[in-house]
Amino acid sequence: MNIITPQYESEYRSKLISGEEAARLVQSNSRICYAGFILSPVYIDKFLAQRVHELHNVKLQTQVYPGICQAVWADQKREHIIFTNAHFSIGDRILHDKGLCDYLPSLFHEYPRTVECGYAGTDILFMRATAMDKNGFFNFGIANTFVKTIIKHAKTVVVEVNKNIPYCLGGLDESVHISEVDYIVESDHAPLLTAPEETPSETEKKIASMLINEMKDGSCIQLGIGGMPNALGKLIASSGLKDLGVHTEMLVDSYIDMFEQGCISNNKKKVYPGKMVYTFAFGSQRLYDFMDNNPFLASYPVNMVNDPKIIAANPDVVSINNCLEVDLYSQVSSESNGFRHITGTGGQWDFVYGAFHSEGGKSFICLESTYTDKNGNLKSRIVPTFKPGTVVTVTRNMVHYIVTEYGIVQLKGKSTWERAEALIGIAHPDFREELIAEAEKMNIWTRTNRQD
């Protein structure tokens, strides 16, 4: 139940409206923003979907919508809403495949600056938040990101209250005061979307077992999402490593395992010591319960968490992320497969750059060497060149370490043919001769260079 103290009761009641009334605030030709991730206003969205055909030229922007945005789904011919998204969830990907969603390229840490420069104007911000606390604040819970920046620049701010959002303590910009809010909607308090438990494959376990040897006591870690990072987290928990720090864009379940086994102290960090630092989280209900009012954690806005300079200021940063493909030029693609857009840049660029510039830091891009296509054919993820339309996420100038189940290669300081040779060496054996032949055709590798 909301904690509405006498000091704020009158103001709260005066700003309280229904979900239907919130949806009616949207007018044709307006620019609206849904706070992304778990703060997306799924309750108000249903009401906006009911009146979408009354509107025209409404520009809606968000990031990682949890599920499928109903207002967009209701406009199957895209005659009323232009939907733009800076990072795709599974639902966003479905909308993009149907031609109902555009991708917004961005570096995660730069987005607040983009808003401040006036490049992403907002007429109405719709966002979920916790129930108001006794001091008049609505907490952003598990998704700090860049919400406060949008609040400062939006013409109208609407908060959708959901009591299931954990109250997450922060270092900065983790809450909004009622005085900064124009309208309040008390929702149906739907449970938060949780991530399904991912069982790592044997290949992912093998990659994780190699990565554990790249860490040491006092390492400051950043893990991405997926089976391999979770496998790595469990290995770390039983490894005996200690005094680890956490500075990560996304908090996931595996950090709990490490914390409970006493691996994490955050005492060796130079930036935000003593705290697990993150900008958003996605995981199980166990994770959300762990985060609720936990003083060992601190959320910060993404322009601080993902700022490469701040990442680099911590020593011994170990950044571990996944990708879709790597080509023989050592370019990394993590967001698209040809013309099909799958995810987004997210913070991968930020942490690849920041980790390398950390004293003793390392950045690892991981991928299984192969995948099976829809026709049952085995395909290599290390390829000569990308398909037309495939987006380069991390350029060859930036890439540090690449990892498959066949090994780890360090690419800094290596020439194009040395990189090609190293990558072929960690490709699946069935594809190595084919990759050698292609590298020769591309004039980046010759058998006379080969070091057997």
Q: What pLDDT, in 10s, does the model give residues 187-222?
A: 999 999 998 877 888 999 999 999 999 999 999 999
The stretch 249-278 carries a mean pLDDT of 96
Asked whether the predicted pLDDT for residue 228 surpasses 90, the reply is no
- What mean pLDDT do residues 65-93 have? 96
pLDDT score at 289: 98
Partners of residue 370 on adjacent β-strands? 380
Q: Is the pLDDT of residue 447 over 70?
A: no
What is the tens place of the pLDDT at every residue in 307-317?
A: 999 999 999 99
The pLDDT tens digits for 126-136 are 999 999 999 99
Q: Is the pLDDT of residue 451 over 80?
A: no
Q: What tens digit of pLDDT does each residue of 315-367 get?
A: 999 999 999 999 999 999 999 999 999 999 999 999 999 999 999 999 999 99
Q: Is the pLDDT of residue 1 over 50?
A: no
Per-chain mean pLDDT for the chain: 94
The pLDDT value given to residue 4? 66
Enumerate the β-bridge partners of residue 364.
320, 401
> How large is the angle between the packed helices 416-425 and 432-441, nearest 10 degrees?
160
Share of the chain above pLDDT 90, in %: 90
**Using an 8 Å Cβ cutoff, are 361 and 308 in contact?**
no
Strand order in the sheet with 325-327: 332-333, 325-327, 382-383
Ranking 219-233, 392-406, 416-430 by mean pLDDT, the lowest is: 219-233
The dihedral through the CA atoms of 163, 165, 166, 169 has a sign that is negative
Work out the average pLDDT over 168-196. 96
What stretch of H or E contains 379? Answer: strand 378-380
Residue positions annotated with a catalytic role? 249
- Closest by CA position to 64, among listed 40, 94, 41: 40
Question: Which domains, ranges and CATH numbers included, belong to the chain?
Answer: 6-186 (3.40.1080.10), 202-449 (3.40.1080.20)
The Cα–Cα gap between 328 and 330 comes to 5
- The mean pLDDT value for 82-101 works out to 96
| Tens digits of residue pLDDT in 279-305 | 999 999 999 999 999 999 999 999 999
250-268 average pLDDT score: 95
Which residue in 402, 196, 403, 375 sits closest to 282, CA to CA? Answer: 196
